[in-house]
Amino acid sequence: MDWDPHHLPSQTGRTIAVTGATAGIGYFAAEQLAAAGAHVVLASRSAPKLDLAAAAIRSRVPDARLSQVRIDLHSLASIDEAARQLSALPALHGILLNGGAMTMRRGETTDDGLPLLLGSHVVANVALIAGVLPALVATGQAGDHARIVHTSTGFVRRLAVPVTDLSHSPRSAFAAYTQAKTATEVFAFELDRRLRAAGLPVDSLVSRPGVGVDAKTPLRPGIRDATTPYRRNVFTPWAQGKDTAAWSAVRALTDPTATGGDYFGPPGAFKGVPVRVQKLARTAEPDPALATSVWDQLERLARVRLPITEHARPGSAT
């Protein structure tokens, strides 16, 4: 189908949670989903920033249906509480796993002692999925499949970083970030295989935004203005704003033709209207032993067991 990010399919009646919703791509994804009629649950760790994001969205979408959930992706205890609140909603049709630390200082850890990039970009999301999966399954059983959308990066294609031992964090922050996103892709595609095998009405998809830069991002009060930090980027001449960088995730959440295992991103490396992009064999179809290893490592680090077999459809292969 032709995809027009300026005219999204109606999302009226759907509830979608967005982590990292108070800045950048997460904020603009939330704004676009709200404009399409969704009830958007803004999830972030700062209550004042959540209020600013809600006000900014309502300045553009006066009738926006918004809720807020505080979540600190550096804390498994906070994630457990946020998952409880999200699961208490009448329905949960989708979740965009967009949040995560962007610090590049070596040696920083989460509250639970995990490397910060791995902990906030991958382990936190595994813990959150474990907590909300029953709610997603229940919503999917009542209608169309619910969706889990993971956020990756084009760096995974450019740099092969091993994920055989996630307890070993690369010395380079760039490599550590790429390791986290590589593990994200392996887990996301393995999650979709297991959901399918269990016959569950939940799809796991992956998106990558391309390159979104502050210099090309439209102004929003408290989100992108003179009071917010500005980050220079050498790729600015070829890049896009963070509003258009959000399109890939929004398409993964809202495209009626999307299915589990799809991967959406710009057709080029930096920008463009999102399309289904070719998946990387080493993350989408790795050796089954590697996929199982990554899965087991992430469950152990997140201190959870994903409740897939518990909700498997009778007669399905699990």
What positions carry a catalytic annotation? Answer: 177
Neighbour tally for 113: CB within 10 Å:
8
Could you tell me which of 211, 158, 198, 213 has the C-alpha nearest to residue 181? 158
Instruction: Please spell the DSSP secondary structure of 89-106, one letter per residue.
Output: SS---EEEE--------T
Q: Could you give the CA distance from residue 38 to residue 315 in angstroms, rounded to a whole number?
A: 34
Q: Which residues pair with 148 in a beta bridge?
A: 95, 204
Token pair of 99 as six digits: 């949040």
Quickly tell me which residue has 């946020």 as its tokens: 82
Q: What is the DSSP letter of 155?
A: H
Non-local CB neighbours of 314 within 8 Å, separated by 6+ positions: none
The answer to whether 248 and 277 are in contact (CB under 8 A) is no
Token pair of 27 as six digits: 């904020």
Report helix, strand or coil for 249. Answer: helix
The answer to whether 160 and 179 are in contact (CB under 8 A) is no
